[in-house]
C-alpha cells in the first residue's frame, strides 16, 4: 500500500499552518464582506447612512445568533425534507441502477477484486452524493423566494440564521440518510460480489499429490506455503475468475493439514471430506467462504524521534545517505545495496504489549521492493535481514546497547509479507560500556528491546550487488485488525464530510443567486475543489524559479494560446508584447489568484479514502479528523456568508 | 427617536422597551419613502413618497388606492419584506427589520403563499412551530382555527387541491395562529364570493371586538366601507386622504330621512316645509336593499331548505323581504 | 377549415420529409444480424451496409459485436478521443507508481473503447508481458504476468477477426517470452504441467493435444507458438485475410518455431530419435513442405520483394544454373571470344598478381587469398563484352540473351540478398545436418559429456555391473573427455558433407570453438596432451589457414602436432616422406570445401 505522506492532526493543524490559513482566510472574508457591504449600501444610501446600516446589520447578528430556537430550525428542516423527498428517491433509484450496470464492468478479475469494487463504489457514491447535495440545496431557497412562499415564513419571528441553518440541517439529515442507505447497499453489493466458493474440479488421487523436493515442486514451482510437504496438481473450479491450489502441510505435531493458496487477495478454509485410506492424503475436500480479502490492518508506522527522521539510510560505507536511485521515475522507494554496510533504520515508538493484545509474538509486515543488477539464481529470491535494537541516547551511557539476532528472510516483492517475531528472542547481544559483549542472551521484545515502546529496526540486504528498496510505509508493526465494516463506515465519513461542505456551499450561494446560477456556480466550486491539488501543482511548478521544475507550456493563458495556435509545448513563444502580456497575466494574476483561492476551498480529492479500504488498511484517525474539521469549518463559514447575504436581501424585491 | 433596541428576551410577550413609546400607537411611519431602483442603483419607480401615518391600537385601518398606488408596498415595508429608501417606520415601537416584532403580527398576503405539498393541519403545525409554540398548544389552536375557518372537512388534503376560497381561508388561519395583536390583511376580500366576503368582514369585525388592531389594504371600496374605522387613500405613492370613514362619507350639506307609512299628500306637505326652510328636496325614492343582502338571504335560505326554489317575482315588485 | 399561411408551409415540409424517407430507407436500412456468428456481415441491409460489408468495414464483420464495448462507446458520448487519451495517461501513471493491477484494469477498459486498433493490442500486450513482468523479482510472478499479456492478446482475437497480426503477436510473445528469456528454463518447466492455464485460456483457440508433446515432457512453448502462427497462416491462406506485414519475415516464423523446438529438445532432454525427427521436420518445413500443417515450406513461399519481384528462396540454385546456361549459349553465339578476353585481362595483370594467380590454391595463405578476390574481379569476363564481339549475324540474338541475363541476374541478386537476410542457407544446412544420424549421435555425446562434466567425471573408468542373473562384469564407462572425443568424431562425420557450414561466423562454429577450448581445458586438468588423431583436426587447420590464429590461440594445428612430434624425436627419420602425404591430404580436403 502506497502511503506517500504521513499527516498527523496536530502537526497538520499547527506547523503545516492549517490553523493559520483558516484565520487568515476568515479575516480576509470578513473584511472584504464588510467592505463590499459598505460600498454597495453607500452607493445606494450615501456613506453616512451606509455606515449605520452596516453596523446595524453586524450588531443585529448577535441577537439573531442567540435568538435561534431549535424548534424553528427543526420546523424548517422538516419542511425541506418533505419538499425534497422525491429527489431523494430518484437519486437512490439511480444508484441502484448504477450498481446493476456496474455488475458488468467489475469482473472478478484474477487480481484483488475488492480493489476494483471499492474504487468504483466510492467513486459512484462520491459523485452521486455531490450531485444530490448541489441539486437539493441549489433550488430550495430560490424557489421559495420565487414562489413567494417565503413571505409567510419571513413574516414570522424567524431569523435569517434559522432559515439558512434550518435548510442546512434538513438537507444534512436527508443526505445522511441517503448516504447511509447508499453505503449499506454498496457494502452488501461488494460482499455478495466477492463471496464465492470453490469445489474440486476432480478427485485428487494419490499420484496427483506432487512431493515437494528441496523446496520446489516437480514442475519447478516454489510451493505457496513453505511448510508444504505435498502440493496438488489438481486445481479448484474457476469461480470469480480465479482458482486455488491445495497443499498438505506437515504440522510440528505431525498431523496433516490441508490449506488453499492465496490468490486474488484471499484464501479459503479447507475441510477434508474423504482421504485416501492408505496414505491419508485427502481425496475430496470442501471449501469455506473467502477469508482475508476484506480486512483492515492496524499498522504502527515508524515515526520521527526528536530531530531523527522516521527512516534513515546509510550507504555502503555506513555513512548517512539518501539511498541509491535504481533509475526509477517514481522515487518512492529508496534502495540499499546488498552485502555492504548499507542499511535502512526504521525508528518505532509506542510499541506496548497492550497494543499487541499481550500476544507472545509480534507481527511485522513488510512490503519491500527489490532490484536485481544481475540475474543470480532466479529460483532463489533476494535475501535480506532485520535486526532489532533498543534506543540508546548517545550522550547518556549507562543503558547498554541491546541488539537482537539478525533475522534473515526471503523478500517477496509487491506482496505484504508477514514476519512473526517471538516475544522471547534467543542469542541477542548486550554491549555495555566498559564491559565485554554478553552474547546469546535471551531478550524480551518489550522489556529489553522496545524499552518504553521505542525501538530501532535495521534492514540489510544480504545478496551481493542486489538492492532492496524501502519507504517509510513499507515496514510496520501489524498490531491487529479492526473490522472491515467499521472501516468501510469510516471511509464513508469522508464522503459525508464532503456532502456537508457542498450542501453549505450551495445554500450560501442560493441566498443571493437564482436556482440555475447556484447550480452552475456550486458545481464550479466543487470541480475547483477536486482539482485544487493539480492547480497548486501547476502554480508551484510554473512560478518556481528553478528552471528544471518549470512545467512545459506555461500557465493557463499561455497554454490557451498554444492550444489555439496548435503550437507544441517546447516551442518558445514569439518575443513581443503579446508574450509579455501572456506571461504577466499568468505569473502575476491567474496563478497566484487561483493558488490562493485553492486555500479557501476544501480539497475534495483528499476526501476519497477508498485507497486505504482497497488495500485493507484502517483509515487513519488523523486523516479523518483533518477531513471532518476542514469540511465543518468550511460549512460554518458558508453558513455565516449565507446568513449575511439572506439578511441583507430584500425578500420582496423582484 | 427609537434607539437601537437591546436584545429583546426571546419568546416573552413584547415588553415595552423604550421609554417614549406610546402603547396605543401600534404603527407609526414618518416620511416613509420607497424608491425601487435597478441593479445599478438608478432609481426607477418612486413607489412611496414621504408617508406619515399612525395606526392606533384596536382600530381597523384601511389603506385604499388604485393598483400601483403603493398600498402593497406600504404593507411590505411595515412587515420588513422591503427596506425603506427613506424615513422610518415602527411597529409596537420597534423598527420594521426587527424580527421579534413578528411575534404579535399576523399577515395574510394577497395570494396566500403557502406550501402546496403540506396539508392544512401540517401547514398550521409548521407555522405554529415557527412561533416556538409547544406541540399541544399548536395542536389545539390549529384545530380551533380550522374549525373557525370552516375547513374541517378538508384538513387532511394537500393545499394544491384547495380552491381559491379555501386557500384564502387557510391563509387567514395561518395569520391568526399566534393570536396576533396586529393583523395585516393584503386585499383580504379580493377574489372571494359574496358569502366568503361576508364571512371575512364578520371576522374582521370580530377581531376588532377582541381588541386587535387590523390593517387592511384593498381596492374594493364597499368592503372597506363596511369594516374600516379609519382609512387612508393613496394615489401614486402619496397620501391623498386620511380620516374616519363615517366622517369622510358624510355628505355634509345633505340629509337623508327614511320614513314609513307616509301618504302621498303628506309627502307634498313635507316638500313644502323643506323649501320654506331653505332646503331643496333632491329626490324622493324608497331605499333599495343591497344586492349582497339579497344574495346572502337566498343562499342562507337554500342552505336551510335544500331543493328547488320557485322563482319569486320577476323583479317588478321590489319590496324588501 | 381556413389554413393560415404558416400551416400551409408546415404541411408542405411534412410531405417533403415523407417523400425523402423512401430513398433513405433504401440507402441506410440496417443490416439484419444473423444469429449464426460466422455468417455475421452477410449483406442484407441497404446499399450502404452492403458497401460496408463488401469492404469489410461493418462492425459485425470486423469483430463480434460486444455489448459492453458498444455501451462504453455510447457512454463516452462522443468524447471518445478524450476518454481514450485520459485512460492512456492513467495507465502510464499507474505503471509508474507500480500499481500493476490498476494498469491491467485501465487497459481492459481502454481496449473496450478502441477494440479495432491493432497497435493498442500490440503495445499493451507487450507492456504486460515484458515491462510489467520484468518488474517482479520472483519468477513465478513474472510467469503470471507473461500469461496476463498473452491472455490480453487472446481477448483481441474476437475483436479483430480479419487481422492476423493478433495471432502473430501471440506466436511471437509465446515463443520469445517462454523460449528465449532469462527465465526460459523455469517458464518452460512450469508451462509443461500448467494444464489449468491451457484448458482455460488456450483450449478455446488451439487443441491442447497439438502442442502436448510427450518427448518434450508436456505442453511445449515452441510448439504452442508454432500453432499460433499456424492460425495466422490459416487466416491468410484459407480466410483470405489481407496481408499486413512483409512476406519474408512473415512466412519465416512457422518453420523458425519448429527449428527452435528441435533445438530446445536437444538441449533440455537426452537427444534421440525424436530429436532427429524434430530437426527433420524443421528442415522440411524450412525448405519445401511443412509436414505438420501440410503447408508450403518457407523456401517454396512466393515472396514479393521490396522491388516488386516475386521470388522463391529455394529457386536460387536453379536460377544460377539457368544463368550459367545463358553463358554457354552466349559462347555458342561467339565461339572463343571469352577465352580471348580472359587472356587479354590476365596479360594486363601486374607480375605479382599473375604469380598469385598461378599459385595452387592450397598454398595460398590468408593474405594471398585476399588478393585473389581482387584479381578474380579484374579478370572476370562480362557477357556484355562477349556479346559486343559476337559475329554480326548473331548480334541480335546476343542482345536478347543479354536482356534475359540481366533479368536473371536481378532475380539472383534478390534471392541472394533475401536468403542472406534470413540466413537461409545456414539454417537449411544446420537443420539438415542435425537431422542426420551422426548429427544426433553428436548431440547425444555432447549431452552425456555435459552431464559427466557436471558430475566432475573427466577420466573413463571401469564399473562393476551385475546383470539380471547375477553375473558381475567390468564395464568401461566413458569419462567426459572420451564422451567429448565421441562428440567431435560424430560432428566431424556430420559436418563434412556441408562445406557451407565450415567457414564464416555462425553460432554453430562459435559453439564448436567453445567445445574445443573446453576439451583443451579438460585435457590440461587431467594432464593429457592434445591427441594426435583429433577427429576434427582438419577443421581447426582450415580455420587457422583461413582466418589465421586470431581467435584460436591455444588450439593445436597439424603443424603444431608435427612440431611436437619432432621435438619428441619420434619423427626424424621419416620427416621428408610425410610432408608430401600431409600436403596431399590437406589439398584434397580443401578441394571439397571449394565446391560451392
Residue C461 has pLDDT above 90, yes or no: no
- Total tally of structural domains belonging to chain A: 3
Residues of A in contact with B76 (CB under 8 A): 652
Mean pLDDT of the region A152-181: 92
- How far from B265 is each of B261, B269, B272, B319, CA to CA, in Å? 12, 6, 11, 22
Nearest Cα neighbor of A61 from A503, A641, A505, A500 is: A641
Candidate from A43, A148, A153 with C-beta closest to B130 = A153
Mean pLDDT of the region C270-295: 91
Mean pLDDT of the region C72-77: 74
Q: Give pLDDT tens digits for A518-561.
A: 999 999 999 999 888 888 888 888 888 777 767 777 788 888 88
Residues A272 and A326 in one domain: no
Would you say residue A31 lies in a domain? Answer: yes
Mean pLDDT of the region C393-408: 85
Residue A472 has pLDDT above 80, yes or no: yes
Average pLDDT of chain C is: 83
Q: Where among A66, A92, A112 does a domain terminate?
A: A66
Do A296 and A486 meet the contact criterion of CB atoms below 8 Å apart? yes
Q: So what's the pLDDT on residue A1? A: 67
Q: So what's the pLDDT on residue B321? A: 42
Q: Where among A465, A481, A497 does a domain terminate?
A: A481
- Are the beta carbons of C141 and A219 separated by less than 8 Å? no
Q: Which residue of C has its CA nearest to A368?
A: C137
Residues A307 and A452 in one domain: yes
Q: Where among A25, A50, A66 does a domain terminate?
A: A66
Instruction: Give me the CATH number covering residue A374.
Output: 2.60.120
Residues A361 and A428 in one domain: yes
Would you say residue A325 lies in a domain? Answer: yes
Q: Which of residues 40-79 of B touch A (CB under 8 A)?
A: 41, 76, 79
Nearest Cα neighbor of C520 from C483, C484, C568 is: C484
Would you say residue A353 lies in a domain? Answer: yes
Q: Give pLDDT tens digits for C171-210.
A: 999 999 999 998 898 999 999 988 888 988 899 999 999 9
Q: So what's the pLDDT on residue B15? A: 47
| Mutation for B interface: A64, A75, A152, most B CBs within 10 A | A152
List the single range of A222-226, A342-346, B283-287, C342-346 with lowest mean pLDDT. Answer: B283-287
**Which domain does A47 fall in, by range?**
1-66
Instruction: Name which residue leads in pLDDT, A101 or A268.
Output: A268
Query: What is the enclosing helix (H) or strand (E) of A137?
Result: helix A113-138
Separation in Å, CA of B289 to nearest CA in chain A: 39
State the cell numbers at A331: 522515487
State the cell numbers at A263: 490468490
Highest average pLDDT, of A52-56, A508-512, C401-405, comes from A508-512
Strand partners, B54: B28
Residue C221 has pLDDT above 50, yes or no: yes
Separation in Å, CA of B115 to nearest CA in chain A: 6
Residues of A in contact with C186 (CB under 8 A): 220, 378-379
Return the residue matching grid coordinates 439484419: C32
Q: Which of residues 336-355 of A touch B (CB under 8 A)?
A: none
Q: So what's the pLDDT on residue C60? A: 60
Would you say residue A599 lies in a domain? Answer: no
The three-point CA angle B135-B199-B120 to 5° equals 30
Query: What is the enclosing helix (H) or strand (E) of A643?
Result: helix A621-647
| Mutation for A interface: B38, B111, B130, most A CBs within 10 A | B130
Instruction: Name which residue leads in pLDDT, B137 or A5.
Output: B137
Do B108 and B171 meet the contact criterion of CB atoms below 8 Å apart? yes
Which residues does B18 contact at the CB level (< 8 Å), separation at least 6? B2, B3, B5, B93
Residues of A in contact with C105 (CB under 8 A): 109, 111, 116
Nearest Cα neighbor of A594 from A522, A551, A536 is: A536
| Residue A364 phi, psi (nearest 5) | -115, 120
List the single range of A390-404, A466-480, B216-230, C448-462 with lowest mean pLDDT. Answer: A390-404
Do C429 and C498 meet the contact criterion of CB atoms below 8 Å apart? yes
Residue C63 has pLDDT above 80, yes or no: no
Would you say residue A193 lies in a domain? Answer: no
pLDDT band per the 50, 70, 90 thresholds, residue C251 = very high
Residues of B in contact with A83 (CB under 8 A): 115, 117
Residues A286 and A305 in one domain: no
Instruction: Name which residue leads in pLDDT, B10 or A457.
Output: A457
The three-point CA angle A293-A296-A300 to 5° equals 130
Residues A272 and A309 in one domain: no
Q: So what's the pLDDT on residue C44? A: 67
Mean pLDDT of the region A68-90: 90
Residues A312 and A261 in one domain: no
A375 and chain B in contact, CB less than 8 A:
no
Q: Give pLDDT tens digits for C520-561.
A: 888 888 888 888 888 888 888 888 877 777 667 777 788 888
Candidate from A59, A158, A159 with C-beta closest to B4 = A59
Residues A329 and A214 in one domain: no
Q: So what's the pLDDT on residue A81? A: 92
Return the residue matching grid coordinates 411611519: B29
Q: So what's the pLDDT on residue C591? A: 42
Residues A276 and A315 in one domain: no
B2 and chain A in contact, CB less than 8 A:
no
Q: Which of residues 167-186 of C touch A (CB under 8 A)?
A: 182-183, 186
- Are the beta carbons of C137 and A330 separated by less than 8 Å? no
Residue A352 has pLDDT above 50, yes or no: yes
The yes-or-no reply on C/B contact (3 CB pairs or more, < 8 Å) is: no
Residues A304 and A439 in one domain: yes
Give partners of C (≥3 CB pairs < 8 A). A
Residue C381 has pLDDT above 90, yes or no: no
pLDDT band per the 50, 70, 90 thresholds, residue A278 = confident
What domains does chain B contain, in order, with CATH numbers?
A: 25-249 (3.40.50.300), 256-306 (no CATH)
Would you say residue A51 lies in a domain? Answer: yes
Distance CA B55, CA B75 (A): 13
Residues A330 and A392 in one domain: yes
| Residue C302 phi, psi (nearest 5) | -75, 120
Distance CA C322, CA C409 (A): 10
Do A301 and A476 meet the contact criterion of CB atoms below 8 Å apart? yes
With a cut of 70, which residues of chain B have pLDDT below it? 1-21, 39, 41, 248, 310-321
Q: Give pLDDT tens digits for C142-168.
A: 999 999 999 999 989 888 888 899 999
Residues A215 and A247 in one domain: yes
ipTM over 0.90: no
Residues A449 and A383 in one domain: yes
| pLDDT over 90, % of chain A | 20
Would you say residue A432 lies in a domain? Answer: yes
Residue A111 has pLDDT above 80, yes or no: no
Would you say residue A348 lies in a domain? Answer: yes
Of chain C, the end-to-end C-alpha distance in Å amounts to 104
CA dihedral for C134, C137, C143, C148, sign (positive or negative): negative
Alpha-carbon dihedral A48, A52, A58, A60, rounded to 10 degrees: -160
Q: Give pLDDT tens digits for A372-401.
A: 898 888 888 899 999 988 888 766 667 778
Q: So what's the pLDDT on residue C92? A: 92
Average pLDDT of chain A is: 86
Structural domain boundaries in chain C: 15-31+41-50, 67-244, 313-429, 436-556
In the A/B pair of chains, how many CB contacts fall below 8 A? 95
Amino acid at each position: 500500500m502506497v502511503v506517500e505522506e504521513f499527516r498527523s492532526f496536530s502537526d497538520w493543524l499547527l506547523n503545516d499552518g492549517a490553523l493559520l490559513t483558516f484565520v487568515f482566510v476568515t479575516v480576509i472574508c470578513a473584511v472584504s464582506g464588510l467592505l463590499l457591504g459598505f460600498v454597495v449600501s453607500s452607493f445606494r444610501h450615501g456613506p453616512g447612512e451606509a455606515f449605520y446600516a452596516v453596523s446595524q446589520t453586524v450588531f443585529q447578528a448577535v441577537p439573531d445568533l442567540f435568538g435561534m430556537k431549535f424548534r424553528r430550525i427543526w420546523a424548517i428542516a422538516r419542511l425541506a425534507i418533505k419538499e425534497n423527498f422525491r429527489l431523494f428517491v430518484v437519486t437512490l433509484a439511480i444508484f441502484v441502477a448504477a450498481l446493476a450496470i456496474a455488475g458488468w464492468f467489475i469482473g472478478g478479475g484474477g487480481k484483488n477484486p475488492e480493489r476494483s469494487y471499492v474504487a468504483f463504489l466510492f467513486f459512484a457514491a462520491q459523485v452521486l452524493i455531490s450531485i444530490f447535495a448541489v441539486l437539493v440545496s441549489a433550488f430550495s431557497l430560490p424557489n421559495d423566494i420565487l414562489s413567494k412562499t417565503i413571505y409567510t415564513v419571513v413574516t414570522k419571528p424567524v431569523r435569517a440564521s434559522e432559515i439558512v441553518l434550518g435548510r442546512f440541517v434538513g438537507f444534512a439529515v436527508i443526505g445522511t440518510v441517503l448516504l447511509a442507505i447508499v453505503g449499506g447497499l454498496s457494502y452488501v453489493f461488494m460482499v455478495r460480489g466477492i463471496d464465492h466458493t470453490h469445489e474440486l474440479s476432480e478427485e485428487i488421487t494419490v499420484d496427483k499429490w506432487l512431493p515437494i523436493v528441496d523446496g520446489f515442486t516437480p514442475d519447478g514451482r516454489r510451493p505457496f506455503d513453505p511448510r508444504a510437504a505435498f502440493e496438488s496438481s489438481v486445481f479448484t473450479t474457476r469461480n470469480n475468475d480465479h482458482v486455488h491450489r491445495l497443499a498438505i502441510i506437515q504440522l510440528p505435531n505431525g498431523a496433516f493439514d490441508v490449506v488453499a493458496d492465496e490468490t486474488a487477495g484471499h484464501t479459503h478454509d479447507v475441510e477434508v471430506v474423504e482421504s485416501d485410506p492408505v496414505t491419508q492424503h485427502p481425496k475430496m475436500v470442501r471449501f469455506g467462504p473467502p477469508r482475508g480479502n476484506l480486512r483492515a490492518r492496524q499498522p504502527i508506522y515508524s515515526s520521527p524521534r526528536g530531530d531523527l527522521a522516521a527512516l534513515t539510510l546509510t550507504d555502503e560505507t555506513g555513512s548517512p545517505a539518501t539511498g541509491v536511485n535504481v533509475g526509477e521515475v517514481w522515487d518512492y522507494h529508496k534502495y540499499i545495496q546488498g552485502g555492504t554496510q548499507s542499511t535502512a533504520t526504521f525508528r518505532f515508538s509506542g510499541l506496548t504489549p497492550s497494543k499487541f493484545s499481550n500476544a507472545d509474538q509480534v507481527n511485522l509486515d513488510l512490503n519491500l521492493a527489490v532490484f536485481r543488477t544481475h540475474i543470480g539464481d532466479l529460483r532463489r529470491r533476494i535475501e535480506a535481514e532485520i535486526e532489532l535494537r533498543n534506543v540508546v541516547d548517545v550522550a547518556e551511557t549507562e543503558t547498554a546497547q541491546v541488539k537482537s539476532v539478525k533475522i534473515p528472510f526471503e523478500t517477496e516483492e509487491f506482496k505484504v509479507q508477514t514476519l512473526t517475531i517471538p516475544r522471547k528472542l534467543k542469542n541477542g547481544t548486550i554491549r555495555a560500556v566498559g564491559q565485554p559483549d554478553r552474547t546469546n542472551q535471551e531478550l524480551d521484545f518489550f522489556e529489553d528491546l522496545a524499552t518504553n515502546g521505542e525501538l530501532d529496526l535495521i534492514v540489510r540486504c544480504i545478496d551481493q550487488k542486489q538492492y532492496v528498496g524501502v519507504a517509510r510505509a513499507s515496514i510496520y508493526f501489524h498490531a491487529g485488525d479492526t473490522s472491515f465494516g467499521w472501516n468501510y463506515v469510516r471511509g464513508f465519513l469522508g464522503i459525508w464530510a464532503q456532502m456537508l461542505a457542498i450542501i453549505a456551499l450551495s445554500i450560501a450561494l442560493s441566498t443571493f443567486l437564482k436556482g440555475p446560477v447556484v447550480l452552475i456556480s456550486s458545481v464550479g466550486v466543487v470541480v475547483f475543489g477536486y482539482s485544487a491539488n493539480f492547480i497548486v501543482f501547476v502554480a508551484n511548478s510554473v512560478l518556481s524559479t528553478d528552471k528544471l521544475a518549470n512545467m512545459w507550456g506555461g500557465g493557463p493563458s499561455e497554454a490557451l494560446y498554444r492550444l489555439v495556435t496548435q503550437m507544441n509545448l517546447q516551442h518558445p513563444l514569439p518575443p513581443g508584447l503579446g508574450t509579455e502580456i501572456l506571461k504577466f497575466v499568468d505569473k502575476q494574476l491567474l496563478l497566484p489568484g487561483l493558488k490562493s483561492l485553492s486555500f479557501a476551498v476544501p480539497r475534495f480529492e483528499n476526501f476519497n479514502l477508498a485507497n486505504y479500504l482497497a488495500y485493507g488498511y484502517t483509515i487513519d484517525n488523523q486523516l479523518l479528523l483533518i477531513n471532518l474539521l476542514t469540511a465543518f469549518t468550511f460549512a460554518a463559514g458558508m453558513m455565516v456568508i449565507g446568513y449575511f447575504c439572506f439578511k441583507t436581501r430584500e425578500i420582496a424585491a423582484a | 427617536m427609537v434607539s437601537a433596541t437591546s436584545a429583546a428576551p426571546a419568546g416573552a410577550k413584547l415588553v415595552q422597551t423604550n421609554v417614549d413609546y406610546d402603547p396605543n400607537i401600534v404603527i407609526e411611519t414618518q416620511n416613509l419613502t420607497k424608491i425601487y431602483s435597478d441593479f445599478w442603483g438608478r432609481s426607477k419607480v418612486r413607489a412611496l413618497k414621504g408617508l406619515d401615518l399612525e395606526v392606533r391600537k384596536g382600530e381597523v385601518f384601511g389603506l385604499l388606492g388604485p393598483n400601483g398606488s403603493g398600498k402593497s408596498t406600504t404593507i411590505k415595508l411595515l412587515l420588513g419584506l422591503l427596506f425603506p429608501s427613506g424615513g422610518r417606520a415602527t411597529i409596537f415601537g420597534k423598527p420594521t427589520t426587527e424580527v421579534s416584532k413578528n411575534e404579535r403580527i399576523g399577515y395574510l398576503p394577497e395570494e396566500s403563499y403557502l406550501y402546496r405539498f403540506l396539508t392544512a393541519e401540517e401547514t398550521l403545525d409548521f407555522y405554529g412551530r415557527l412561533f416556538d409554540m409547544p406541540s399541544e398548544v399548536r395542536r389545539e389552536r390549529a384545530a380551533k382555527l380550522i374549525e373557525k375557518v370552516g375547513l374541517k372537512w378538508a384538513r387532511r388534503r394537500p393545499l394544491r387541491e384547495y380552491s381559491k376560497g379555501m386557500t384564502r381561508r387557510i391563509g387567514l388561519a395561518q395569520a391568526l395562529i399566534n393570536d396576533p395583536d396586529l393583523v395585516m390583511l393584503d386585499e383580504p376580500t379580493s377574489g372571494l364570493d359574496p358569502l366568503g366576503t361576508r364571512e371575512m368582514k364578520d371576522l374582521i369585525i370580530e377581531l376588532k371586538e377582541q381588541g386587535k388592531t387590523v390593517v387592511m389594504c384593498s381596492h374594493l371600496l364597499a368592503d372597506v366601507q363596511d369594516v374600516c374605522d379609519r382609512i387612508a387613500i393613496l394615489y401614486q405613492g402619496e397620501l391623498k386622504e386620511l380620516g374616519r370613514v363615517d366622517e369622510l362619507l358624510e355628505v355634509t350639506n345633505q340629509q337623508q330621512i327614511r320614513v314609513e307609512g307616509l301618504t302621498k299628500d303628506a309627502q307634498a306637505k313635507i316638500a313644502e316645509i323643506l323649501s320654506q326652510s331653505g332646503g331643496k328636496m333632491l329626490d324622493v325614492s324608497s331605499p333599495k336593499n343591497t344586492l349582497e343582502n339579497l344574495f346572502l338571504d337566498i343562499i342562507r335560505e337554500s342552505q336551510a331548505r335544500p331543493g328547488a326554489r320557485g322563482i319569486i317575482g320577476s323583479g317588478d315588485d321590489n319590496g324588501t323581504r | 377549415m381556413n389554413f393560415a399561411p404558416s400551416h400551409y408551409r408546415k404541411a408542405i415540409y411534412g410531405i417533403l420529409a415523407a417523400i425523402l424517407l423512401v430513398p433513405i430507407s433504401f440507402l441506410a436500412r440496417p443490416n439484419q444480424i444473423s444469429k449464426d456468428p460466422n455468417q455475421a456481415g452477410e449483406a442484407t441491409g441497404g446499399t450502404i451496409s452492403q458497401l460496408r460489408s463488401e469492404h469489410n468495414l461493418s462492425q459485425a464483420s470486423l469483430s463480434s459485436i460486444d455489448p459492453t464495448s458498444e455501451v462504453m462507446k455510447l457512454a463516452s458520448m462522443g468524447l471518445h478521443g478524450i476518454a481514450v487519451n485520459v485512460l492512456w495517461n492513467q495507465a502510464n501513471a499507474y505503471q509508474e507508481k507500480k500499481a500493476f493491477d490498476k494498469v491491467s484494469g485501465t487497459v481492459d477498459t481502454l481496449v473496450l473503447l478502441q477494440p479495432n486498433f491493432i497497435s493498442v493490442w500490440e503495445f499493451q500486450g507487450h507492456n504486460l508481458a515484458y515491462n510489467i513482468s520484468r518488474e517482479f523479482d520472483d519468477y513465478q510472478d513474472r510467469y503470471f504476468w507473461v500469461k496476463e499479456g498473452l491472455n490480453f492478446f487472446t481477448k483481441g482475437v474476437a475483436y479483430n477477426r480479419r487481422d492476423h497480426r493478433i495471432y502473430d503477436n501471440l506466436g511471437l510473445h509465446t515463443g520469445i517470452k517462454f523460449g528465449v528469456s532469462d527465465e526460459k528454463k523455469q517458464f518452460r518447466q512450469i508451462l509443461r504441467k500448467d494444464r489449468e492455464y491451457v484448458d482455460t485460456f488456450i483450449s478455446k483457440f488451439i487443441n491442447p493435444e497439438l502442442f502436448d508433446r510427450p518427448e518434450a515432457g508436456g505442453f511445449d512453448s515452441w510448439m504452442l507458438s508454432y500453432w499460433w502462427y499456424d492460425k495466422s497462416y490459416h487466416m491468410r491462406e484459407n480466410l483470405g485475410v489481407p496481408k499486413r506485414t512483409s512476406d519474408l519475415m512473415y512466412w519465416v516464423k512457422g518453420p523458425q518455431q519448429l527449428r527452435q523446438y528441435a533445438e530446445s529438445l536437444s538441449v533440455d532432454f537426452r537427444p534421440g530419435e525424436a530429436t532427429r525427427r524434430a530437426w527433420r521436420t524443421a528442415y522440411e518445413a524450412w525448405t519445401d513442405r511443412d509436414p505438420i500443417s501440410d503447408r508450403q515450406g518457407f523456401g517454396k513461399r512466393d515472396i514479393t520483394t521490396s522491388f516488386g519481384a516475386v521470388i522463391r528462396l529455394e529457386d536460387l540454385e536453379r536460377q544460377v544454373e539457368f544463368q550459367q546456361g545463358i553463358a554457354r549459349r552466349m559462347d555458342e553465339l561467339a565461339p572463343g571470344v571469352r577465352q580471348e578476353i580472359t587472356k587479354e585481362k590476365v596479360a594486363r595483370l601486374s607480375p605479382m598478381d599473375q604469380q598469385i594467380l598461378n599459385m595452387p590454391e592450397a598454398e595460398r595463405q590468408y593474405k594471398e587469398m585476399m588478393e585473389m578476390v581482387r584479381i578474380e574481379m579484374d579478370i572476370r569476363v562480362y557477357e556484355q563484352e562477349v556479346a559486343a564481339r559476337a559475329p554480326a549475324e548473331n548480334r541480335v540474338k546476343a542482345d536478347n540473351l543479354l536482356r534475359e541475363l540481366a533479368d536473371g541476374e536481378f532475380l539472383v541478386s534478390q534471392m541472394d540478398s533475401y536468403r542472406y537476410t534470413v540466413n537461409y542457407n545456414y539454417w537449411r544446412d544446420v537443420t539438415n545436418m542435425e537431422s542426420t544420424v551422426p548429427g544426433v549421435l553428436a548431440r547425444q555425446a555432447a549431452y552425456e559429456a555435459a552431464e559427466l562434466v557436471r558430475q566432475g567425471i573427466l577420466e573413463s573408468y571401469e564399473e562393476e555391473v551385475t546383470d539380471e542373473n547375477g553375473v558381475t562384469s567390468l564395464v568401461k564407462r566413458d569419462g567426459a573427455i572420451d564422451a567429448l572425443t565421441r562428440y567431435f568424431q560424430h560432428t566431424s562425420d556430420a559436418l563434412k558433407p556441408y562445406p557451407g557450414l565450415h567457414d564464416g561466423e555462425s553460432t554453430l562454429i562459435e559453439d564448436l570453438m567453445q567445445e574445443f577450448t573446453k576439451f583443451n581445458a579438460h585435457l590440461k586438468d587431467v594432464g593429457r596432451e592434445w591427441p594426435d588423431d583429433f577427429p576434427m583436426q582438419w577443421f581447426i587447420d582450415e580455420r587457422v589457414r583461413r582466418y589465421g590464429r586470431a581467435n584460436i590461440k591455444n588450439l593445436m594445428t597439424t603443424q603444431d602436432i608435427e612440431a611436437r612430434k619432432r621435438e619428441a624425436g619420434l619423427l626424424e627419420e621419416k620427416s621428408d616422406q610425410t610432408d608430401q602425404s600431409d600436403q596431399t591430404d590437406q589439398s584434397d580436403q580443401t578441394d571439397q570445401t571449394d565446391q560451392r
